[in-house]
C-alpha cells in the first residue's frame, strides 16, 4: 500500500506479507454494485 504525502515529496510503502482470507463473501444487494468485503490476516508487515 503506497501512500504519497500531500506535498508529493515522500512515499511510504506498507507491505502486509503472507495474508490469508478465511472467506470470500459475495454481496448482491438491490440497487448496488456487487462487492466483496475481504477480511484477511497477515503474518508480518514491513514499512519503507
What is the binding site for another protein (CB under 8 A)? 18, 20, 22-34, 41, 43-44
- Angle at the Cα of 38 (from 40 to 12), degrees rounded to 5? 65
Residues 6+ apart with CB under 8 A from 7: none
Instruction: State the nearest-atom distance from the C-beta of 36 to another protein, in Å.
Output: 10
**Closer CB to another protein, residue 1 or residue 28?**
28
Cβ proximity to another protein, 11 vs 35, nearer residue = 35
Residue at grid coordinates 448482491 = 28
Name the residue nearer to another protein (CB basis): 9 or 30: 30
Amino acid at each position: 500500500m503506497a501512500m504519497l504525502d500531500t506535498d508529493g515529496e515522500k512515499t511510504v510503502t506498507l507491505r502486509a506479507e503472507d495474508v490469508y482470507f478465511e472467506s470470500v463473501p459475495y454481496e448482491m444487494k438491490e440497487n448496488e454494485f456487487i462487492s466483496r468485503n475481504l477480511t484477511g490476516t497477515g503474518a508480518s508487515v514491513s514499512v519503507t
